[in-house]
Structure 1
């Protein structure tokens, strides 16, 4: 009996292990089971009680039910094998294409095949994970069955007459149940192993093809600068075996199949971004609708934004198309090309009416050239009959670029500054493409022409991408205005643009460089070499680091600083909209927000870069030593800024006086604060001075202000009338009734009786205008009622004045005239004496 059991276990273990490629595991299982059986036969275990055996039998029955439920969920072969036929056909096509030596495969098509294999491998990996998960379930079931078989209850001799017949029947049923479950398990293992074997063969084949494509790519990349065609003045060395039309149709069909399969494999991601597209579109439509219906200055607001109000649907397409390739894994060339077409066509429609007609026609021709280049980029084989077409397209492209240069010289403000650099770069690349074509470097010529044209159109599309995002943000800010009659000032609009442009242009610059190297078919090489440079460990003294760690650290710190500054700026704009309610403003708490963002960014940078907090502690220790020697003032100002943020003696927007300077708080920075003086100048005051000097805050508790006027009248005036006039003039709507305005007789001065007028205004920003209104009213009322406002007068008495002839002479002109008259009189007297 023992020998038969061991033989059955051996045979089952061996063949099951062989079916799934795990012979060694089957032998290990055999040894383990045989050892258990031998131990149980050699040792005389005490038999469990009848009640315990019945309870254990019930537990095993429940456990077997669970096991059979697990086994009933068979492997979904239909779902796993659904894509296998297509994958096998595509793999066969790739294999046949690599083995075909009659035609040369283009580098872009090799990259397309490489991406296709990656996508096929990704799909098969999903099936492999499902099969592996099923195998793990079956292994767990097998371990549970072995545990049941190894129990003493299962090994009881049923021929013992001392065992009750009912109990014998229960044990018999349990053994039959175990055997049935064991048989089902064996079938499931063999069935699953067959799938695993098929998947393993497919993965091995894909790996072999990937290595072959990798070898071909390296060959083509090394031969890019080599001559692959005759010089243009020599006799042709190639055969026109296939016409361009045939190549075009075959390439379109092949890329259509690849694109369909790619989208099908990423259907969930495609649906997700379709939902994102619709949500973004309806969100923008809602913004435009609300602004048109609720904002009094809707026309002014929408005139500042050109593209989004014109066509929100195309604006959303321009936003999404440049960033979608970064979310889809291993995007194929056909997928990238379709996104390019959608983006460029959307830009072309949005530019209608934005350019002069001649320049727009120039752009239309350029887009037509772009479409030809992108279609040519999809060809699977190198077709040398394209040689003259490519030269013609390059010449036309250079001509169009020169027209753009000429237009920009005549209209220097019509284009952004980078366009001239981009146009010159395009001309240079197209010139190199023509030279490469002339000297027999056809592959290099085509790559340069495609990269130049696609990169230029992508740059224009990315520029509109920046403008449209800024317009959307601006419209959202306008939508969140505090009232229907409020809109962002023209200055704030340009400040928003200036801040966002730096960040967005930096982002699109990285995107453009990424696509440029991809168009040159050098992206993999650049990424590979860049990764090697960034990840190679380097040693400085006793410290090991990588350039990647340093780059990550500074990049995160830089991003956190940008976030901190922009959050502070937009929070300040929000405060300006709530200028009348000081308690609802963030004010100096914006400093805490900035410090929090910078601190979290710094800690995240330290953790993400792998530098280690112990090394940062060394740096901070050295920094503390520097603080002790020369950074006391800076640290004092930093701590003072934090105190200002917590105590809030000043808020952004408060009117203050400190150190003889007055103005409105514009910014509470980390080291210093900025005050906007009333004459327009900006005063930078260290935070330490704000705490150490006497600070007058006119708007700390509220914006009320008392206005004091000293009015002098003549001693001959009717004092009751004067008091009545003054009281009437301060009974205007702008003057607060509580506290009550007052008119007091102040003093008897040298030449006037002075009255003191006191009244309150509820808005500090308007007190000068209200004082002006009151004083003008007083002056007008005094004039109407004949009240004299005295002014200082002085009487001068001259005791002697040389040359004075007459007391009636009062001016220097009369004095000169009297001198001449005296000389004439003296001359007449002398004549008479003579």
Structure 2
């Protein structure tokens, strides 16, 4: 046994030695094999995830599949799409047939309507397209998630592997089955969505083709607008004038009714919202009237000053609300605008009843009748040459009615606004052009001009009432706010506000009327497009680029900020002028800081909104600083002085001041200069620099008190103690302050009088002249009652010699002059 152990030990030693000898030769090979085995082991680990990790993944994937099934279970909302698409397909088919019909003479107005209709259809289809696109994106996301799940290692496991637990095998099988079901549902939804996506895509292509066709027809119609499209009146007509006008009317009526109903249905949400706003506005105005009737002592006088709102509140609200609706609704159809115009014109007619003389109101009724005929004719889809003589007669009647309005305006200049005459002349000019176009065979142009003239005139009258009614609502609201004398609204000068606000609303009305006029002559789209191109085209100047749109935005925002700043200053100055006794409660010169702040914010907004770089503004400011250095020192001095006045507040609006020999009440502290209302009613403009550089006397800087000084002279023979007693007694009135105590001093012995100096204080600077008048009247009456003489300068004239001896019979200077004249005549004879 011992030998056997020794043999084994020797064997291991030899083996170890051999291994050591050969280890250096096969070291690289062994290392490579080891690395391959390690990589294979790691790969096997990745391919065969742990049981716990697989179970967690299976749970996450199951939750994810349930979420995907929920998304796929929400099918595409096809109800609205199925409702819109067939109608859109039928309507586009009708439009296509009309455009492809060579015998159809489509009017330019109807082409615009078709173009507008296609835009509304495109908007509807785009809504459906967005829904389908959103659904497609959801399906794509689900598809990517399913693909990610299927590529996971858990799906590559062999469920028949006996090393995998039976329960785990079952979970993997269920996960695969669920994935397959989800994928099958996904494919069904993809096919379903692709069907609608195809139809919508086909509709968008069709709409684009029809839009191009309409654009081509419009360009053709615009070019032919000035060309002759029918025979002269004295020639035999080559066109078919046998079309049944009533048939055209009823067919157009049905078509426009369908378009209008569909448009209102598509805009139903906005229509309901605006109806609520209209109702709230009406209730607000109605509540104003109720408050005036219930709380105001002179409610009848207040309501009589408003001509329309108190008597026809609902109709007045319509006139204010309806003109702005075309700007709120997107792409309004001609039928929709026509209905709005009918409502406004009828409402205006009811409001004018009783406000105009009967003859003028009958004239207006005749014009309304012409307006209705023109607007109905404007809805025709086809050009009907049988209208020629109707339009010719309407133009002549319209000119006759317009001339009567001019005659009435000149005989009653105060009854109608001044712009009516200009508007009437414009209407007459348009109708004359319509008649000339009709005579020279330009029927389409004639109808367009006549319709535009009539509709624009009616819309202008409606917009005029639009401004008047807004002014009445503002006036009534101000009257409602006048509850206490200390409230701000009770001091508002309504007429001053009216002048300012009316300009704004007249400007708004002018813009609305311009929009209407361009739309009436079918130039609105062209004008908008040309304006957009003109304003957005980049232009170069030296090394910088700009657009006129940026410049317009810049100046528009600067102008708006200046208007806002001026109005803030105006209202604040009204408030300050009524708080003269409480200087601390007034904004005063702080209004200037508010104005500067508004202007600065407006300027920064204008720079940012216009896209003008601040580097370019810096260049402008640098050039401006150079100008300041050469010739604008005085202006900059006044500007800086204005800022100093705003911060230091040596003067406030309503202060009584004296500067440079001028005195008055501060009315406005401006950016460059200030206004002083002199006591004689004149307004003095004083540069802000002069207010700081000259001696400034402010009588109301810290309070309203003022000392009044009187110099009273009495004769030398008067009782001085009695005079002092009388003067002291007259200073015992309530308006004179008791502290400081009034004083009476003997001032001086003058040439012809003994002068007393009377000093007393008054509480309110604005009343010191009245109190002084009362005191002096009392002193004069007391002196007269007590026999105190107030001396006045007297001179004794002693005549030592006279060139002629006076006759005792001469009683007057006139007789003496007559005697001298007779003597001169006698001497000349001699």
TM-score over 0.5 for the pair: yes
Hey, what's the Cα distance between the residues in 2 that align with 1:485 and 1:620?
46
Contact 1:343/1:461, CA 8 A, preserved across alignment? yes
Inter-CA distance 738–276: structure 2 relative to 1 (3 Å threshold): farther
Hey, what's the Cα distance between the residues in 2 that align with 1:649 and 1:766?
22
Is 1:101 aligned to residue 102 of structure 2?
A: yes
Query: What residue is the counterpart of 1:789 in the other structure?
Result: 790
Query: What residue is the counterpart of 2:672 in the other structure?
Result: 671
Deviation digits for residues 163-197 of structure 1 (CA, Å, limit 9, x no counterpart): 22233333333333323322222222222222212
Hey, what's the Cα distance between the residues in 2 that align with 1:747 and 1:469?
68
Query: What residue is the counterpart of 1:707 in the other structure?
Result: 708
Query: What residue is the counterpart of 2:5 in the other structure?
Result: none
Cα distance, 1:44 vs structure 2: 6.6
Cα distance, 1:795 vs structure 2: 4.3
Cα distance, 1:622 vs structure 2: 0.9
Q: What is the DSSP-based 3-state SS (H/G/I as helix, E as strand, rest coil) of the residue aligned with 2:79?
A: helix
Query: What residue is the counterpart of 1:7 in the other structure?
Result: none
Is 1:278 aligned to residue 276 of structure 2?
A: no
Q: What is the DSSP-based 3-state SS (H/G/I as helix, E as strand, rest coil) of the residue aligned with 2:203?
A: helix
Hey, what's the Cα distance between the residues in 1 that align with 2:731 and 2:240?
101
Q: What is the DSSP-based 3-state SS (H/G/I as helix, E as strand, rest coil) of the residue aligned with 2:735?
A: coil
Contact 2:345/2:462, CA 8 A, preserved across alignment? yes
Inter-CA distance 621–132: structure 2 relative to 1 (3 Å threshold): same
Hey, what's the Cα distance between the residues in 1 that align with 2:162 and 2:597?
82
Inter-CA distance 726–315: structure 2 relative to 1 (3 Å threshold): farther
Contact 2:677/2:683, CA 8 A, preserved across alignment? yes
Q: What is the DSSP-based 3-state SS (H/G/I as helix, E as strand, rest coil) of the residue aligned with 1:309?
A: coil
Cα distance, 1:57 vs structure 2: 2.8
Inter-CA distance 807–406: structure 2 relative to 1 (3 Å threshold): closer
Contact 2:492/2:574, CA 8 A, preserved across alignment? no
Contact 2:491/2:574, CA 8 A, preserved across alignment? no
Cα distance, 1:260 vs structure 2: 1.3
Is 1:695 aligned to residue 683 of structure 2?
A: no
- More displaced 10-residue stretch of structure 1: 811-820 or 289-298: 811-820
Cα distance, 1:227 vs structure 2: 1.8
Query: What residue is the counterpart of 1:69 in the other structure?
Result: 70
Contact 2:708/2:768, CA 8 A, preserved across alignment? yes
Deviation digits for residues 501-543 of structure 1 (CA, Å, limit 9, x no counterpart): 4333333223222221211112222222232222222222222
Deviation digits for residues 463-492 of structure 1 (CA, Å, limit 9, x no counterpart): 222222233333334444473699989994
Report 1:613-692 matches (<5 A): 613-692=614-693
Query: What residue is the counterpart of 1:332 in the other structure?
Result: 333
Q: TM-score, normalised by structure 1?
A: 0.87
Query: What residue is the counterpart of 1:599 in the other structure?
Result: 600
Inter-CA distance 717–304: structure 2 relative to 1 (3 Å threshold): farther
Hey, what's the Cα distance between the residues in 2 that align with 1:292 and 1:714?
66
Hey, what's the Cα distance between the residues in 2 that align with 1:566 and 1:97?
55
Hey, what's the Cα distance between the residues in 2 that align with 1:214 and 1:816?
105
Contact 1:294/1:484, CA 8 A, preserved across alignment? no
Query: What residue is the counterpart of 2:29 in the other structure?
Result: none
Contact 1:296/1:485, CA 8 A, preserved across alignment? no
- More displaced 10-residue stretch of structure 1: 685-694 or 57-66: 57-66
Contact 1:481/1:577, CA 8 A, preserved across alignment? no
Query: What residue is the counterpart of 1:81 in the other structure?
Result: 82
Q: What is the DSSP-based 3-state SS (H/G/I as helix, E as strand, rest coil) of the residue aligned with 1:416?
A: coil
Deviation digits for residues 225-245 of structure 1 (CA, Å, limit 9, x no counterpart): 122222111223333554222
Hey, what's the Cα distance between the residues in 1 that align with 2:405 and 2:543?
57
Query: What residue is the counterpart of 1:183 in the other structure?
Result: 184
Query: What residue is the counterpart of 1:203 in the other structure?
Result: 204
Q: What is the DSSP-based 3-state SS (H/G/I as helix, E as strand, rest coil) of the residue aligned with 1:82?
A: helix
Contact 2:309/2:473, CA 8 A, preserved across alignment? yes
Hey, what's the Cα distance between the residues in 2 that align with 1:575 and 1:614?
41
Report 1:81-230 matches (<5 A): 81-230=82-231
Query: What residue is the counterpart of 1:364 in the other structure?
Result: 365
Query: What residue is the counterpart of 2:394 in the other structure?
Result: 393
Report 1:707-726 matches (<5 A): 707-719=708-720, 721-726=722-727
Query: What residue is the counterpart of 2:317 in the other structure?
Result: 316
Query: What residue is the counterpart of 1:237 in the other structure?
Result: 238
Query: What residue is the counterpart of 1:258 in the other structure?
Result: 259
Query: What residue is the counterpart of 1:420 in the other structure?
Result: 421
Query: What residue is the counterpart of 2:611 in the other structure?
Result: 610
Inter-CA distance 584–540: structure 2 relative to 1 (3 Å threshold): same
Cα distance, 1:349 vs structure 2: 2.0
Query: What residue is the counterpart of 1:534 in the other structure?
Result: 535
Cα distance, 1:753 vs structure 2: 4.3
Hey, what's the Cα distance between the residues in 2 that align with 1:788 and 1:251?
102
Q: What is the DSSP-based 3-state SS (H/G/I as helix, E as strand, rest coil) of the residue aligned with 1:101?
A: coil
Hey, what's the Cα distance between the residues in 1 that align with 2:280 and 2:738?
53
Query: What residue is the counterpart of 1:568 in the other structure?
Result: 569
Contact 1:455/1:512, CA 8 A, preserved across alignment? yes
Cα distance, 1:675 vs structure 2: 1.0
Inter-CA distance 762–184: structure 2 relative to 1 (3 Å threshold): farther
Query: What residue is the counterpart of 1:764 in the other structure?
Result: 765
> Where do 5+ consecutive residues of structure 1 fail to align?
1-38, 824-834
Hey, what's the Cα distance between the residues in 2 that align with 1:751 and 1:699?
38
Cα distance, 1:408 vs structure 2: 2.2
Hey, what's the Cα distance between the residues in 2 that align with 1:819 and 1:627?
76
> Where do 5+ consecutive residues of structure 2 fail to align?
1-39, 825-830
Q: CA RMSD in A?
A: 3.2
Q: What is the DSSP-based 3-state SS (H/G/I as helix, E as strand, rest coil) of the residue aligned with 2:703?
A: coil
Cα distance, 1:253 vs structure 2: 2.1
Query: What residue is the counterpart of 1:35 in the other structure?
Result: none
Hey, what's the Cα distance between the residues in 2 that align with 1:293 and 1:479?
11
Query: What residue is the counterpart of 2:33 in the other structure?
Result: none
Q: What is the DSSP-based 3-state SS (H/G/I as helix, E as strand, rest coil) of the residue aligned with 2:159?
A: coil
- More displaced 10-residue stretch of structure 1: 418-427 or 750-759: 750-759
Q: What is the DSSP-based 3-state SS (H/G/I as helix, E as strand, rest coil) of the residue aligned with 1:706?
A: strand
Q: TM-score, normalised by structure 2?
A: 0.87
Cα distance, 1:371 vs structure 2: 0.9
Inter-CA distance 429–818: structure 2 relative to 1 (3 Å threshold): closer
